[in-house]
Amino acid sequence: MPAQSSFSYTYSFPADNGDPSQLDLVLTKDTPYGSAGDIIDAWCFNASAAILGNRYSDTYTGDIYAIEPYALSASGVSTLSGLNLANMGSINWLLNWYPDGDPTLAPGVVQAAIWTLLGQDWSRLEDFAGNPDPSQVYALAGRALTNFNYVAKAGESIGVLFDPVVNGEHSQPMLI
């Protein structure tokens, strides 16, 4: 499936715009998802994919994909290989539930729960995720799985995946 649009952004890590997320993307040009200068909350999608380039000063460009399992499976994005894409409904629920569902949860717990839902081992990245409490991570992932077929309703958020390419190589995909 071809990408829906292209985008261009820089990173801000850790997230510093006051909203709870693992990191922020700062759009450097207008997209269907925001205008140049907008700050968008983001989550790393693949625990084993690197953020290529200098995330603090480089501008990343790439494509945007819907996070439905069929769209991602057909995208051909190499950094999605081996991920459990069947849990996209649960991840969409999680993005809509957090932070209002439990504002006391640290963003790192949500980041680790996303990786858990994708079937990834996040333990080697505990520092990046803020050393989350594993019991909170697994409880949140379990709760999200009870919303396996979640479909966003009018006025709710729909997750999309930014797929940056740096020097012809796919970098860390970002879930927003």
Residues near 14 by Cβ (< 8 Å), separated by ≥ 6?
22, 23
What is the residue-averaged pLDDT of the chain? 81
**What pTM, to 2 d.p., does this model score?**
0.86
SS3 of residue 84 by DSSP: coil
pLDDT for residue 4 is more than 60: no
What single letter denotes the amino acid at residue 82? G
- Where does the pLDDT of residue 138 fall: very low under 50, low under 70, confident under 90, or very high at 90 and above? very high
pLDDT tens track for 119-137? 998 887 756 666 888 999 9
Average of per-residue pLDDT across 96-122: 88
Average of per-residue pLDDT across 132-153: 92
pLDDT of residue 47: 87
How far is it, in rounded angstroms, from Cα 24 to Cα 86? 26
Nearest 10 degrees: Cα torsion 107, 172, 17, 34: -120
pLDDT tens track for 23-76? 888 888 887 777 888 888 888 898 888 888 777 677 778 888 877 776 777 777
In eight-state DSSP terms, residue 106 is -
- Where does the pLDDT of residue 145 fall: very low under 50, low under 70, confident under 90, or very high at 90 and above? very high
pLDDT of residue 2: 43
pLDDT of residue 116: 95
Tokens of 94: 């999680």
How far is it, in rounded angstroms, from Cα 117 to Cα 120? 7
How far is it, in rounded angstroms, from Cα 27 to Cα 36? 5
How far is it, in rounded angstroms, from Cα 51 to Cα 58? 11
